[in-house]
Amino acid sequence: MTTLLANIAKVRDRIQHATEHCGRDVKDITLLAVSKTRPATAIEEAHHAGLLHFGENYAQEAEAKVATLQHLPLVWHFIGPLQSNKTRLVAERFHWLHSLDRLKIAERLQAQRPVHLPPLNVCIEVNIDDEASKSGLHPGQLDDFVRALLSLDRLAVRGLMVIPAANQTAATTHASFERTSACLHQLQQQFPQLPLDTLSMGMSADLELAIAAGSTLVRVGTDIFGARL
Ligand SMILES: *Cc1c(COP(=O)(O)O)cnc(C)c1O
């Protein structure tokens, strides 16, 4: 078995155990392979191993890979910071954006999403640990922000994305995930008309904690493809 196949099997195993541990169904967790900095060949190999969802952070790098791999039925997720001059790429070539944090970006995506495609799936990034270095909305800003998105019919508001502060204890990280989960539940009550079914949380180091707190999508790079170059 290749290293990539073994890594994917190991990550799937971890997800399986994590769901069993908290009585959830493994089918409710999507595995998103974070392929930033990896060549298209690695993505192709991961697809052959059964992965469908791939996450990219950098617009220029992503554009080339999406074009190279357009013969494959992949689901592309943009998970990095998105500048307004790069929204067209995401609107035209991606299925998901995880890092929505500004109305201006949402309005550009609304205008640029091609009519022949379904609405772009978006998650709102939450700055759950109130870090100055991080983008994302504070929990108290979510209600107004989602309300402002209601008229944008080319976007499907699917949920929240979070990256907790680094170097915390497991208990603190778990608490950050739980607070994010609570934010989603509140939005579900507030906006029953929206398809709010996604909690994009958990990476290589903390996917078990995220699943225990209700994650529906884990974003895994290192533990699938190895250490980034
Ligand atoms: C790079 C990245 C990941 C993957 O992190 P790993 O620790 O390599 O699994 C997940 N989410 C985002 C937003 C990232 O930028």
- Kindly state the greatest CA–CA separation across the chain: 50
Query: Can you give the pLDDT of all 229 residues of the chain as single tens digits?
Result: 689 999 999 999 999 999 999 999 999 999 999 999 999 999 999 999 999 999 999 999 999 999 999 999 999 999 999 999 999 999 999 999 999 999 999 999 999 999 999 999 999 999 999 999 999 999 999 999 999 999 999 999 999 999 999 999 999 999 999 999 999 999 999 999 999 999 999 999 999 999 999 999 999 999 999 998 7
Best of 131, 180, 201, 203 for a ligand 1 pocket test (most atoms within 8 Å of beta carbon): 203
- Strand ranges in the chain using DSSP code E only, listed in sequence order: 30-34, 53-56, 75-78, 96-100, 120-126, 155-162, 198-200, 217-220
Task: Decide: 34 and 219 in contact? Cβ < 8 Å.
Answer: yes
Task: Decide: 33 and 225 in contact? Cβ < 8 Å.
Answer: yes
Ligand 1: atom nearest CA of 220 is 9
DSSP H stretches of helix in 22-125: 40-48, 59-68, 87-93, 103-112
What is residue 137's three-state secondary structure?
Answer: strand
Say how far apart CA 155 and CA 72 lie, in whole Å: 24
Q: Would you say the C-alpha torsion 46, 47, 50, 52 has a positive or negative sign?
A: positive
- Amino acid present at 103: L
**What's the gap in Å between 142 CA and the centre of ligand 1?**
23
34 lines ligand 1 (CB under 6 A): yes
**What's the gap in Å between 119 CA and the centre of ligand 1?**
25
Comparing CA positions, the residue from 110, 108, 78 lying closest to residue 93 is 78
Predicted pLDDT of residue 192: 98
Predicted pLDDT of residue 86: 97
The residue whose C-alpha atom lies closest to atom 12 belonging to ligand 1 is 79
**What's the gap in Å between 95 CA and the centre of ligand 1?**
18
**What's the gap in Å between 33 CA and the centre of ligand 1?**
9
Ligand 1: atom nearest CA of 79 is 13
**What's the gap in Å between 225 CA and the centre of ligand 1?**
11
79 lines ligand 1 (CB under 6 A): yes
Predicted pLDDT of residue 40: 97
Predicted pLDDT of residue 216: 98
Task: Decide: 162 and 201 in contact? Cβ < 8 Å.
Answer: yes
**What's the gap in Å between 54 CA and the centre of ligand 1?**
11
Residues making up the chain, counted from first to last:
229
Predicted pLDDT of residue 2: 86
**What's the gap in Å between 123 CA and the centre of ligand 1?**
16
Task: Decide: 162 and 182 in contact? Cβ < 8 Å.
Answer: no
The burial of 213, by beta-carbon neighbours within 10 Å (0-12 exposed, 13-18 middle, 19 or more buried), is given as buried
- Kindly give, in sequence order, each residue whose CB lies less than 8 Å from that of residue 11, ignoring residues fewer than 6 positions away: 31, 207, 220, 223, 224
Say how far apart CA 86 and CA 7 lie, in whole Å: 32
- Tokens 């067209």 correspond to 88
The residues pairing with 78 across neighbouring beta strands, listed in sequence order, are 56, 97
Pair of tokens at residue 155: 């976007």
221 lines ligand 1 (CB under 6 A): yes
204 lines ligand 1 (CB under 6 A): yes
Ligand 1: atom nearest CA of 223 is 9
